[in-house]
Amino acid sequence: MIELSWPQVSARRLERAGLGARPAGPAEAAGPAETVAAMCGAHAQVMSAGEASVGLRLDGVTRTGVRRALWEEGSLVKTYGPRGTVHLLPSSDVPMWVAALSTVPATHRVASPEIRMTAEQSEQVVAAIRDVLAGAELTIDELSDAVVAATGPWAGDLVMPAFQGMWPRWRQVMHLAAHRGAFVFGAGRGRKVTYTASPAAASAPYAGDGAGDLVRNYLRAYGPATPAHFAQWAGGPVTWAAQAFKRVELEEVRLEGQPAWVLAGDTEVPGEPPRGVRLLPYFDAYVVAGRPRELLYPGAAAGRALAGGQAGNFPVLLVDGEVAGVWHQRRSGKRMDVTVEPLRDLTAAQSRELEEQVERVGAVMEATPRLTIGTVTVGAHA
């Protein structure tokens, strides 16, 4: 059985994530859609962070280029992806994602039985969303009115605790509707978020094995991994993940002495350990998918850069493949103040690289950056 060290695995993942020594993305002439495919989706709950995640992996691509791919070219879509969180996904891959995520067993995320919807009610809401968004682009209030009109007053009961009030009952299955391919995000109406039907190419039937192909993509990017790792990343139960692993031809290896799996024959690792400094934004796919956590977040990094064990709530400083600090940016017009808090001393070469990374972040976000080394006082993002 092949034994792999953490530096070997770290170098492999960085290279495949477009974060290796080359400034370009994971493939020659890659664009935003190819880069997002290699990442297995770019987290976009914080849209500016999603734009940064993609742009930092590509040469010469700014947030405008990512927006163009999303809203003009249609090579990307914004929708609910793994863990029911907002992601950018390649339009061409949406059928695979729908086929895979629609197999995740439904779970009730609310504690009180009187809030929950029955399976029949859930199906009614999913069908209503699909119907009312056909040929339309609606705000959340417009969509809510249409869903309630199509299903019944029960769907509009304000029973779900939300950030600043209560949401109607039907919204608890919104991520489920997205996983069924019922909608994607629209381009927006001013500051208002909108929703629309999936583009025809993205909602086409999928001829492959959805769950199996998602495992293949995940292991290609983030292997070696276990079914438990995949379950935590995708947002499904371990039993579902274990069944999905069985659909794929795998090879067992040892990662720092622990069993893990890669695609059969896919055991190649770079010849050199990971090198370099990177700044990764909120919820970057590399840290969210990266496990084991104790290897990616060694020592003080676990206490400073994780939030209750959850990755992504802080933008991170990555040094030689490991989380070695946190950072934050505050923008005012074209100016961007970047504060970086290293958790260990940087060499002179690493300090120069950090300055280059700050300039790169500024270029991607179309701003003029200014670096400050100091304590980040902003707390974890929810």
Mean pLDDT in residue range 81-106: 94
Average of per-residue pLDDT across 264-275: 95
Contacts for 315 with CB less than 8 Å, ≥ 6 apart: 49, 279, 280, 281, 282, 284, 326, 327, 328, 329
pTM of the model: 0.94
- 261, β-bridge pairs: 225, 252
**Nearest 5°: phi and psi at 319?**
-125, 120
Contact 89/41 with Cβ under 8 angstroms? Answer: yes
Q: Return the pLDDT at 203.
A: 73
Q: DSSP states of 25-67 as a string?
A: -SSTT--HHHHHHHHT-EE-SSHHHHHHHHHTTSTT--HHHHH
Please give the structure tokens belonging to residue 54.
């993609």
| Nearest CA-CA partner of 315 in 43, 84, 65 | 43
| Residue 26 pLDDT | 45
pLDDT at 21: 62
Mean pLDDT of 317-324: 97
Tokens 């477009």 label which residue?
18
Residue 22 has pLDDT above 60, yes or no: no
The confidence score (pLDDT) of residue 23 equals 44
Predicted local confidence at residue 112, as pLDDT: 76
Mean pLDDT across the chain, nearest whole number?
A: 94
How large is the average pLDDT for residues 210-225?
98
Confidence band, pLDDT 50/70/90 cuts, at residue 317: very high
pLDDT digits (tens, 9 = 90+) for 332-370: 999 999 999 999 999 999 999 999 999 999 999 999 999
Q: How confident is the model at residue 109 (pLDDT cuts 50, 70, 90)?
A: low
Residue 25, pLDDT > 90, answer: no
Cα distance between residue 78 and residue 71, in whole Å: 9
Rg of the chain on CA atoms, in Å: 21
Decide if pLDDT at 24 tops 50: no
CB neighbour list of residue 195: distance below 8 Å, 6 or more residues apart: 129, 133, 137, 138, 139, 140, 143, 183, 184, 185, 186
Residues 6+ apart with CB under 8 A from 13: 221, 222, 286, 290, 321
The residue ranking higher by pLDDT, 115 or 66, is 66
HSE at residue 90, side-chain half, CA atoms within 13 A, is: 15
* Residue-level length of the chain: 382
- Looking at residue 264, its pLDDT comes to 98
Pairwise CA distance, residues 188 & 200, whole Å: 19
User: For 154-200, how does the pLDDT look when each residue is reduced to its tens digit (9 = 90+)?
Assistant: 999 999 888 778 999 999 999 999 999 999 999 999 999 999 999 88
Lowest average pLDDT, out of 18-32, 79-93, 189-203, goes to 18-32
| Residue 290 near residue 311, CB atoms below 8 Å | yes
pLDDT given at position 245: 98
pLDDT of residue 111: 55
User: Residue 107 — pLDDT band, cuts 50, 70, 90?
Assistant: low
Q: Is the pLDDT of residue 114 over 50?
A: yes
Encode pLDDT of 281-298 as tens digits: 999 999 999 999 999 999
